[in-house]
Structure 1
Amino acid sequence: MRLAQGIIIDKEKTFGILKFSALRREVFLQNEDGTVSTEVKERTYDLKSKEQGRMIQVSIPASVPLKEFDYNAQVEMVNPVADTVATATFRGADLDWYIKADDLVLKGKAAPVSDKSVNKPPDKDK
């Protein structure tokens, strides 16, 4: 069986309340010669999941601005999908699950605030 679109997730039943923890890593694109470029492909964030009872990781495309929510801020994933990656081994294969989403937003907010300058104090020179 092949699930080309991944497994669609019922967010509330699967994850329950999600709380933001931190940026875990950035994945960079590779240059044609195989070296790592400076262009970010995706970012993976750590989230605390009430239903899973542990930390989960979710990857968001780099086209979405960097998320810098407060620690423990309640968040929700936009269009999460679970999928797998299989790695051949001597005995068969190892299977790893991963979660991707279109975006990560504060719970109850329609869209994330991308301009951090909104909450900055005014410049003293002006």
Structure 2
Amino acid sequence: MRLAEGIVIENEKTFGVLKFSALRREIKVVNEEGVVTEEVRERTYDLKSKGQGRMIQVSIPVKAGNKKFDYNAEVELVNPVADTVATATFQGADVDWYIKADDIVLKKLENSRKSEIKQNQNKND
């Protein structure tokens, strides 16, 4: 079976609560001569996943911008996909999983919005 577009992930069921940790690395563009340039192609971030019970790494394209959220800020992934990279060995292949997304954004917390609205209403009364 071949999944050319990777495996689409359902955020809540797969990751549970996601908390921002830090930028892990930047992947630079390699030009036609094989020289690494200063242009960034994608960034990989460390996120704490309650559902996975560990830190996960998620790569996003450079067009999504550099994410500088507070440590432990609750975030969510936009269009996450899991995929693999296989490396041939003498006994078969080693397979590594990776997660890519279109973006990492702050999670909209409905309860905090509701309490903020109530506070504003109380001020106006």
Measured after TM superposition, the shift of residue 2 of structure 1 is 0.6
1:89 maps to: 89
| TM-score normalised by L of structure 1 | 0.85
**Shift of the alpha carbon at 1:65?**
1.0
Check if 1:67 corresponds to 2:60: no
> Counterparts of 1:40 and 1:86 in 2: how far apart (Å)?
24
How many pairs were matched up?
109
- The 1-side partners of 2:32 and 2:38 are apart by 13
TM-score by length of 2: 0.85
Q: Which amino acid aligns with 1:48?
A: K
Partner amino acid, structure 1, of 2:12: E
Structure 2: how far apart are the matches of 1:61 and 1:15?
Answer: 20
Kindly report the root-mean-square deviation, in angstroms, between the aligned alpha carbons of the 2 structures.
Answer: 0.9
Listed as ranges, the gaps of 5+ residues in structure 2 are 110-125
Q: Which amino acid aligns with 2:82?
A: A
Q: Which has the higher helix share?
A: 2
State the secondary structure of the residue aligned to 1:76: strand
**Structure 1: gaps of 5 or more residues:** 110-126
Deviations 1:28-70 (A, max 9, x none): 0101110101111100000000010000000000111100000
Structure label with greater radius of gyration: 2
Is 1:100 aligned to 2:100, yes or no? yes
